[in-house]
Amino acid sequence: MKALLNHRSIRKYKGDPIDDSLLQEILTAGTRASTTGNMQVYSIIVTRDEEVKRQLLPLHFNQQMVMQAPVVLTFCADFNRFNKWCKQRNANPGYDNFLSFFTAAIDALLAAQNVCIAAEEKGLGICYLGTTTYTADKIIEVLKLPKGVVPVTTVVMGYPDEQPELTDRLPLAGVIHHEVYHDYSEGDIDQIYQQKESLPLTKKLLEENKKETLAQIFTDNRYTLKDNVTFSKNLLKVLEQQGFMNNDRTE
C-alpha cells in the first residue's frame, strides 16, 4: 500500500546497475498479474545494452532517462508464442484480429504495472514512456519484433537520483461514478479541475508557454490533434502489419 501511495515517476537515475537476481524477482512478480485465460499473451524485452538503448533513444523523443536508467523494459502484446504453440499442437489459432490484440495489450499492461510496483517496493524508481505507441513501427524494427507482437508501453527502471514531490491528482469524486455514469455539469468540471489549475506549477507553465489556460497547453503544445492523428494512423498501420486486423476471416 505504501509503495502504491508513494509512487513518483523518476526521470533522473544513478549509474548503479540492477542486480540480476533482483531484476528476476521483479519480473517474476510481473508474471503473477492476472492474464486472460492464463494465456500470458505478452512478452517483456529487457534492454540494457548501450547500443540498443541508443537506437531506442530517438523513438522515445530523446528522453535521456532511456540512456541513464540501467534497464529499459518494453512490454509487448504477444500472440506469436501462443500461435506457434497452437500450430505445433494441431490447433488452429484465431488470434489475428483486433479483439486479440486488445486482449494481449491488457495482459501486457497489467504485468507492467505489477513490475513497476515490485520495483518501487525494492527501492527502485520507474517511469512509463508513452512514446511507445507513437513510434511502435520503429521500435518493432529495433527490437526485431515478429508478426503477432506489438509494443504497448515502455518502462525505464533504476536507482533514483531525484526525489520529486508527489504529483497532484483530481479529487477522487471526479473520477468515480456510483452505479452508473453521471455526466459532468459545467460546475462539476470547474470544481474537479480547480485545484490543478491553482497549483504554482500551473502558473509557471502558463507563463513559460504564454497560454491563457492549462487546457490549452495540452491541446496546443503537449498532445495536439495533428500529432494524435499521425500517431493514430501509424498505430493502426502497425496493427495491420503485425497481423491483428483480419477482422473478417471466417476460417
Interface with its own copies in residues 178-197 (CB under 8 A)? 178-181, 183-184, 186, 189-190, 192-193
Backbone angles phi, psi at 149, to 5 degrees: -125, 130
Cα dihedral sign, 160-166-168-174: positive
Any contact of residue 213 with its own copies (CB under 8 A)? yes
Q: By CB under 8 A, tell whether 154 contacts its own copies.
A: no
CA 130, CA 125: separation in Å to the nearest integer? 17
DSSP code at position 147:
T
207 contributes a contact to its own copies by CB under 8 A: no
DSSP 9: B
Specify whether the CB–CB gap between 246 and 98 falls below 8 A: no
User: Residue 25 corresponds to which cell in the numbers above?
Assistant: 524477482
DSSP-derived secondary structure letter, 166: P
- Can you tell me which of 33, 59, 69, 156 binds its own copies, judged by CB under 8 A? 33
Q: How far is the CB of 64 from its own copies (least distance, A)?
A: 19
| Binding flag, residue 210, its own copies (CB under 8 A) | no
Residues 53-72 that bind its own copies (CB under 8 A): none
Residues 66-105, one symbol each (x = binds its own copies by CB under 8 A, - = not), give ----------x-x-xxx-xxx-xxxxxxxx-xxxx-xx-x
Interface with its own copies, residue 142, by CB under 8 A: yes
Residue 64's φ and ψ, nearest 5 degrees, are -65, -20
- 199 is an interface residue for its own copies by CB under 8 A: no
Q: Counting contacts by CB under 8 A, is residue 121 touching its own copies?
A: yes
What is the Cα–Cα distance from 230 to 211, expressed in whole angstroms?
Answer: 24
**Is residue 7 at the binding interface for its own copies, with CB under 8 A as the rule?**
yes
